[in-house]
Amino acid sequence: MNITKEQIDNLNAVVKVEISKEDYQEKVDKILKDYRKQANIPGFRKGQVPMGLIKKQYGKAVLVDEVNKLLQDNLNKYLTEEKLDVLGNPLPKQQENFDWDSENLDFEFELGLAPNFDVQLKTKKAVTQYKIVADKKMIDEQVERIQKQYGKLVSKTEVGKNDEVTGTFVNEAEEIEHKTTIELSKVKSKKATDALVGKKVGETATVSTKGLFKEDYLLPSALGISADKAEKLNIEVNFTIEEINEREPAALDQELFDKLFGKDNVKSEKELKSRIKEDSEKQFEQQSDQKLLNDVTEKLIDETKFELPAEFLKKWIQISGEKLLTDDEAKEEFEKSEKGLRYQLIEGKIIQENDLQVQFDELKEFAKGFIKSQMAQYGHMDPKEEELENIATRVLGNQDEVKRLSEQLMSQKLLDLYKEKANLKVKEVSYDDFIKEAYS
């Protein structure tokens, strides 16, 4: 067997593979002999079928199969040994009137080669790194929510503007009959508020569903209907009151602090606000980090210029899927995937040049941290090391989980690298301003 490469240009090459009869004949003969031993053909005893008949019936198929295996194994070996960085897979060139009976078989494969390029982490234009701070307004609102959540309900006889009212919404025509509890502070419609305030248990208020609540997601749950149905609903519903309560805020005392953070970890309202600020900003950091990762990615794609073997990739896309695509479909798919391919190449270059690797020990530690944070969400704040070790071992026994966690850990390594070496400008913003700037 002989394999040679013809370089067409920097991004395209053709590999030629010459296979002689000696490369495959011994294997083909062995397979045909095995076929002969097992063949059941009318008129012949098992194992006594003439070899000529076996060759006539199975010879071509076995030959093609063995040659294809030879091609695949040796072509992959050649690409590895020659360190050719190919995009997609080699594409066999069509050969008219190919003669499988020839002593020597010649094949040609088109290659699309990855481009050579440099990546500059210090981009020309700086990328904004948002530092989200919890401002006084946000902290005060969180304190208010905590007091409300841990407060006690005081029964009332008449609805007030800040009360919680339990009752049943009814509209027979729309088949709505649903018991729920609503907070009047979340009612947007002034007409609805006026209709409810002053009502007593057993009385009914009629309200319109259009613009009823300040947040759209509240309407479907209040009426017991789907979000799709609620989206365009504009009807009147009757709300019959069954219970009226005022939520008396919890006192900001040691009993509440211990309930929230454990005994004596927080001892004053000032410490409470400081802890809320710290915890909130930790959560915000995840969002700002994701935004930074996305923005650096976009900037690198924009500023790192290189050509791709576009025509080769379109041909490869055209034939590599479950069904053959038309030229226009292949072009459309290439245009949709080009940006992602460019970043894969850029990311691969960054990982290689900065020797970023995911080792198993650090993957296990990363998994433990992930597990610990999940357990904390369910109130398990201090799991034992043995417990974390056992759960992490089980998780890492699943290859899909290993892949997912490895990708997350590599993203974290890239983020740390960008924070160290990329051209960044830090900007402090409130959470509301971050949302406006980042997602406007």
Spatial CB neighbours of 51, under 8 Å, sequence gap ≥ 6: 32, 33, 36
Question: Phi/psi at 305 (nearest 5 deg)?
Answer: -100, 130
DSSP state of 431: H
Name, in order, each residue with C-beta under 8 angstroms of 147's C-beta and a sequence gap of 6 or more.
249, 250, 252, 256
- pLDDT confidence of residue 46: 80
Least confident of 120-129, 217-226, 370-379, 410-419: 370-379
Is residue 59 pLDDT above 70, yes or no? yes
Nearest to 272 by CA among 122, 68, 134: 134
What's the pLDDT at 71? 94
Q: What is the pLDDT of residues 150-203, one digit of tens each?
A: 999 999 999 999 899 999 999 999 999 999 999 999 999 999 999 999 999 999
Q: 3-state class of 291 per DSSP? A: helix
Question: pLDDT by residue (tens digit) across 283-293?
Answer: 899 899 999 99
- 328 within 8 A of 336, measured Cβ to Cβ: no
Decide if 108 contacts 14 (C-beta within 8 A).
yes
Please say if the pLDDT value at position 398 is more than 90: yes
C-alpha 355: how far from chain center = 25
B/e letters for 91-105, b = 16+ CB within 10 Å, e = fewer, are: beeeeeeeeeeeeeb
Q: Is the pLDDT of residue 234 over 80?
A: yes
Q: Which helix (H) or strand (E) holds 242?
A: strand 236-248
Give the number of residues written for the chain: 440
User: Can you tell me whether residue 400 is helix, strand or coil?
Assistant: helix
Alpha-carbon distance values, 202 to 158, 168, 240, 241 (Å) = 11, 11, 6, 5
pLDDT (average), residues 325-341: 95
State the Cα–Cα distance between residues 9 and 36, nearest whole angstrom: 49
Over the chain, what is the mean pLDDT?
92
Model-level pTM?
0.73
- Edge to edge, the sheet with strand 2-9 lists 2-9, 12-20, 104-113, 86-92
Six-digit token string for 186: 């979340």
pLDDT on residue 381? 66
Give me 238's structure tokens. 């009757």
CB contact at 8 A, 313 and 111: no
For the segment 289-324, what is each residue's pLDDT rounded down to a tens digit?
999 999 999 999 999 999 999 999 999 999 988 899
Rounded Cα distance, 72 and 57, in Å: 25
What domains lie within the chain, and their CATH numbers?
2-113 (3.30.70.1050), 152-248 (3.10.50), 267-306+354-439 (no CATH)
Strand partners, 428: 131
pLDDT at 90: 95
Query: What does the pLDDT look like over 216-229, one tens digit per residue?
Result: 899 999 999 999 99
Q: Cβ–Cβ contacts within 10 Å for residue 59, how many?
A: 20
| Torsion region of 355: left, alpha or beta (phi above 0 gives left; psi -120 to 50 gives alpha) | left
Annotate 205-243 with b (16+ C-beta within 10 A) or e (fewer).
bebebeebbeeeebbbebbebeeeebeebeeebbbebee
Q: What is the pLDDT of residue 95?
A: 81
Per residue in 16-46, pLDDT tens? 999 999 999 999 999 999 888 888 788 788 8
Residue 50 has pLDDT above 70, yes or no: yes
Q: Quick one: average pLDDT of 137-143?
A: 93
Does residue 126 have a pLDDT over 70?
yes
- The torsion angle over the Cα atoms of residues 330, 336, 341 and 344, rounded to 10 degrees, is -150
Residue 161 near residue 119 (C-beta atoms within 8 A) = no
- Would you state the pLDDT for residue 439? 79
Question: What pLDDT does residue 45 have?
Answer: 80
pLDDT digits (tens, 9 = 90+) for 251-289: 999 999 998 888 898 999 999 999 999 989 988 998 999
Q: Is the dihedral of CA 38, 42, 45, 48 positive or negative?
A: negative
Read off the amino acid at residue 104. N
Question: For residue 303, what are its two tokens?
Answer: 């500023």
> What was the pLDDT predicted at 200?
96
Give the pLDDT confidence score for residue 379 in this predicted structure. Answer: 66
